């Protein structure tokens, strides 16, 4: 169970200073906070909205080396990501699993080309390989990837990568942080940096929930705010030049019946040179993504019409059944925090997905770029940088070996929650109302709702329905329909009055409109 918010605010008031303050509650910030607290540093994480409200809940849900980065020749990054994939599969097996993919081939040379390429991918993975890549004939592709169109199909290549639930893994990591003495607050927005002798000594943040402001000191402040890093860097140096160029990626969620098997589809080169995935996820199909340079960083980026069209057309070209707008259950968009190129080129596809750490003159440490897959390595690099800069006393980390859950996961429908799944299963056994699904089209029970409300720092209905449960991303219409009942039944656990529950329903329904495709 996560600590009560008020207890954390009291701790902040009473504590003179933390060793580490992390700004940003996405993959990079949560990873850094966990690394810091497991190494024995007192740690506070501050997130402006809810945890993973930014990019970290809008990914393609892959824990992967990145086949396309291999094609771009970035072998060091691919090898690092494959190693991290291996650690994650070992340390979080309740939530990260092996996902077989098939790349269909349409021209005579593609079979040989992709088989050799993916054999090399296996080689780069070394002992972390999840299984051998193999060439498949047309008949085998049609058997293993039902739903793929047989038109012009010659064969395919099967390879393995990892898949996960992004914001659920973040919640597990926040439980680790909490259980090891670290503190994390959502709806806590850093408004300014505190300085002495031009060195950063802490932050001023506003508790947006209670509308109160606090100053808190730290030996080191880490800026892990994704596409918002420049805002914090501007607080540090008003004349700071942009380091980030956001690039938007959109996903459409469809019924699983478009690709009903266990294998995912990977198109390495679409008509305009992009990669397209169609991956089974929570008994649905996630299809994406795009790569569109964007000038503003919004917490709720909206899919552009041309991005939706591109995904619908491309998916229809490869699947047996045409994908219509009316088939889309949900649409979501995220922003990649890519490093801005120095020459102002607009081709984000060519901008490195590598992470980069910047130590400013004031000793603010900023991380840019990276991937969910490599969050642990990014965190290790950030803390090591704080040590080598002399801001923290030396320590040795070992998150490579640190299991995210202490005991084995509950089997069955609550496996995703790891050891906490046992508590949810026990709740579900209490009465049939709790065991029931919240909606026939959503894979979540009322027992999950109750457990999450009591344990995972939910402040708004959106936190529950978009990120603790993934209902909004799986089926936006169904989630909007059930929002009122969820708000009413959750109200006693969340301390809401009937008026607050009604206001939460209205706000959630408004948000869900941008996830529904009309
Ligand atoms: C479309 C898409 C698909 C992707 N797919 C994959 C994938 O399949 N696998 C993979 O490994 N990676 C994937 N990635 C990359 C991965 O999702 C990102 O690298 C990662 O989520 C970035 O995390 P972050 O913590 O740096 O940023 P974010 O998740 O954006 O977190 C930054 C946080 O900082 C907070 N913040 C901002 N300002 C303040 C402030 N003043 N005070 C406090 N908090 C603040 C924000 O609210 C936000 O929550 C994908 C990215 C995109 C866009």
How far, in Å, CA of 67 to CA of 58, rounded? 20
Distance CA 515, CA 330 (A): 5
Question: Across residues 80-108, what is the average pLDDT?
Answer: 96
pLDDT of residue 68: 79
Q: Which tens digit of pLDDT belongs to each residue from 491-504?
A: 999 999 999 999 99
pLDDT score for 351 = 53
Evaluate whether 419 touches 409 at the Cβ level (below 8 Å). Answer: yes
Residue 365 CB contacts under 8 Å (≥ 6 apart), including other chains:
220, 221, 222, 223, 357, 358, 359, 382, 385, 386, 389, 391
pLDDT at 338: 75
Taking CA atoms only, the protein residue closest to ligand 1 atom 37 is 225
Phi, psi values for residue 300, rounded to 5°:
-125, 70
Residue 349 has a pLDDT of 46
CA–CA gap between residue 15 and residue 310 (Å, rounded): 52
What is the percentage of the chain residues whose pLDDT exceeds 90?
Answer: 88
23 lines ligand 1 (CB under 6 A): yes
Cβ-based neighbours of 33, under 8 Å, separated by 6 or more:
20, 22, 43, 44, 45, 177, 182, 184
Task: Give the list of residues 6+ apart from residue 63 with CB closer than 8 angstroms, or none.
Answer: 84, 85, 88, 89, 96, 161, 162, 163, 164, 372, 373
Cβ–Cβ under 8 Å, residues 51 and 174: yes
Q: Is 336 in the pocket of ligand 1 (CB under 6 A)?
A: yes
Q: Give the pLDDT band of residue 17 (cuts 50, 70, 90).
A: very high
Residues in the chain: 518
Residue pLDDT, tens place only, 381-436: 999 999 999 999 999 999 999 999 988 777 888 999 999 999 999 999 999 999 99
CA distance 264 to 278: 6
How many angstroms separate the CA atoms of 108 and 10, rounded?
Answer: 67
Domains of the chain: 5-55+167-243+348-401 (3.50.50.60), 96-162+245-339 (3.30.9.10), 415-513 (1.10.8.870)
Span 437-490, pLDDT tens digits:
999 999 999 999 999 999 999 999 999 999 999 999 999 999 999 999 999 999
Of the candidates 299, 29, 74, 313, the one whose C-alpha atom is nearest the C-alpha of residue 184 is 29
Q: How far is CA 322 from CA 147, 316, 317, 325, 467, in A?
A: 11, 5, 8, 10, 30
Q: How far apart are CA 372 and CA 28, in angstroms?
A: 8
Supply the angle between the helices 75-91 and 375-388 in degrees, to the nearest 10.
110
Distance (Å, whole) CA 391 – CA 363: 8
What stretch of H or E contains 232? helix 229-236
At 52 the pLDDT is 98
**Ligand 1 center–CA 271 separation, angstroms:** 28
Q: Kindly state if the Cβ of 228 falls inside 6 Å of ligand 1.
A: yes
Distance CA 459, CA 472 (A): 16
Mean pLDDT, all residues of the chain = 94
Mean pLDDT, residues 325-341: 90
377 close to ligand 1 (CB < 6 Angstrom): no
Residue given tokens 């080309």 in the structure block? 113
pLDDT in tens, 119-140: 999 999 999 999 999 999 999 9
HEC states along 351-391?
CCCCEEEEECCCCCEEEEECCCCCHHHHHHHHHHHHHHCCC
Instruction: Work out the percent of the chain whose per-residue pLDDT is above 70.
Output: 97
**Strands (DSSP E) found in 146-255:** 155-163, 183-185, 188-196, 199-207, 212-223, 244-255
Paired with 288 in beta bridges are 251, 277
Query: Confidence class of residue 337 from pLDDT cuts 50, 70 and 90?
Result: confident
pLDDT score, position 412: 87
Q: What's the burial of 288, exposed, middle or buried (CB within 10 Å: 0-12/13-18/19+)?
A: buried
Q: How far is CA 67 from the centre of its chain?
A: 19
Tens of pLDDT, residue by residue over 250-301, are: 999 999 999 999 999 999 988 778 899 999 999 999 999 999 999 889 999 9
Tell how far the Cα of 429 is from the centroid of ligand 1, in angstroms.
37
Phi, psi of 21 (to 5 degrees): -115, 130
Task: State whether the beta carbon of 69 lies less than 6 angstroms from ligand 1.
Answer: no
Is 290 a pocket residue for ligand 1 (Cβ < 6 Å)? no
Task: Indicate if ligand 1 lies below 6 Å from the C-beta of 201.
Answer: no
How big is the CA angle at 358 (ends 355 and 361), to the nearest 5 degrees? 175
* Cβ–Cβ under 8 Å, residues 29 and 222: yes
Helix (H) or strand (E) holding 90: helix 75-91
Q: Is 463 in the pocket of ligand 1 (CB under 6 A)?
A: no
Q: What are phi and psi of 423, to 5 degrees?
A: -65, -40
Residues 366 and 233 sit within 8 Å (Cβ to Cβ):
yes
Residue 343, pLDDT score: 59
Residues near 278 by beta carbon (within 8 Å), at least 6 away in sequence: 258, 259, 264, 265, 285, 286, 287, 315, 318, 319
Q: How far is CA 39 from the centre of its chain?
A: 24
Distance CA 487, CA 491 (A): 6
Alpha carbon of 133 to ligand 1 centroid (Å) = 30
Residue 56 CA: which ligand 1 atom is closest? 21
Q: Is 247 in the pocket of ligand 1 (CB under 6 A)?
A: no
Angle between helices 75-91 and 108-125 (to 10 degrees): 60
Tell me the CA–centroid distance for residue 371 and ligand 1, in Å.
8
Q: How far is the CA of 334 from the centre of ligand 1 (A)?
A: 8
Burial of 6 per CB tally in 10 Å (0-12, 13-18, 19+):
exposed
Ligand 1 site, residue 130, Cβ cutoff 6 A: no
Q: What pLDDT digit, counting tens, does each position of 53-79 carry? A: 999 999 999 999 988 788 777 898 999
The pLDDT of residue 350 is: 47
């Amino acid at each position: 169970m996560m600590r009560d918010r008020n207890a954390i605010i009291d701790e902040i008031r009473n504590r003179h200073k933390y060793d580490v303050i992390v700004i940003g509650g996405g993959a990079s910030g949560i990873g850094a906070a966990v690394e810091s607290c497991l190494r024995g540093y007192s740690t506070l994480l501050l997130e402006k909205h809810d945890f993973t409200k930014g990019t970290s809940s809008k990914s393609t849900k892959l824990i992967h080396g990145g086949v396309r980065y291999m094609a771009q020749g970035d072998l060091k990054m691919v090898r690092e990501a494959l190693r991290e994939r291996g650690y994650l599969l070992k340390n979080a097996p309740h939530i990260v699993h092996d996902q077989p993919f098939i790349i269909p081939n349409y021209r005579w040379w593609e079979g040989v080309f992709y088989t050799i390429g993916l054999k090399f991918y296996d080689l780069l993975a070394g002992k972390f390989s999840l299984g051998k890549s193999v060439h498949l004939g047309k008949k085998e592709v049609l058997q293993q990837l039902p739903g793929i169109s047989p038109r012009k199909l010659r064969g395919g290549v099967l390879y393995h990568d990892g898949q996960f639930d992004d914001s659920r893994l973040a919640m597990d990591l926040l439980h680790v942080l909490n259980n090891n003495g670290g503190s994390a607050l959502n709806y806590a927005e850093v408004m300014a940096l505190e300085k002495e002798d031009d060195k950063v000594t802490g932050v001023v943040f506003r508790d947006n929930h209670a509308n109160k402001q606090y100053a808190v000191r730290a030996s080191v402040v880490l800026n892990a705010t994704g596409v918002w890093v420049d805002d914090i860097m501007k607080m540090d140096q008003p004349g700071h030049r942009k380091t980030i160029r956001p690039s938007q990626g959109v996903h459409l969620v469809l019924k699983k019946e478009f690709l009903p098997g266990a294998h995912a589809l990977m198109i390495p080169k679409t008509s305009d040179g992009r990669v397209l995935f169609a991956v089974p996820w929570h008994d649905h199909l996630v299809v994406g993504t795009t790569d569109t340079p964007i000038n503003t960083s919004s917490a709720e980026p909206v899919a552009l019409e041309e991005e939706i069209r591109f995904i619908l057309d491309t998916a229809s070209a490869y699947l047996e059944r045409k994908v219509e707008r009316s088939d889309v259950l949900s649409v979501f968009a995220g922003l990649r925090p890519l490093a801005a190129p120095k020459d102002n080129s607009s081709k984000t596809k060519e901008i490195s997905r590598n992470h980069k750490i910047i130590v400013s003159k004031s000793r603010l440490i900023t991380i840019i770029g990276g991937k969910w897959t490599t969050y642990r390595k990014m965190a290790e690099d950030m803390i090591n940088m704080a040590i080598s800069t002399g801001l923290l006393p030396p320590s040795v980390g070992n998150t490579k070996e640190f299991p995210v859950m202490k005991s084995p996961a509950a089997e069955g429908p609550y496996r995703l929650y790891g050891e906490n799944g046992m508590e949810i299963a026990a709740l579900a056994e209490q009465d049939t109302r709790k065991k029931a699904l919240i909606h026939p089209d959503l894979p979540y029970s009322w027992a999950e709702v109750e457990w999450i409300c009591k344990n995972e720092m939910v402040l708004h209905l959106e936190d529950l329905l978009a990120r603790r449960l993934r209902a909004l991303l799986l089926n936006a219409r169904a989630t909007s329909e059930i929002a009122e009942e969820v708000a009413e039944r959750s109200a006693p656990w969340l301390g809401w009055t009937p008026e607050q529950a009604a206001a939460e329903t209205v706000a959630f329904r408004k948000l869900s409109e941008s996830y529904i495709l009309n």
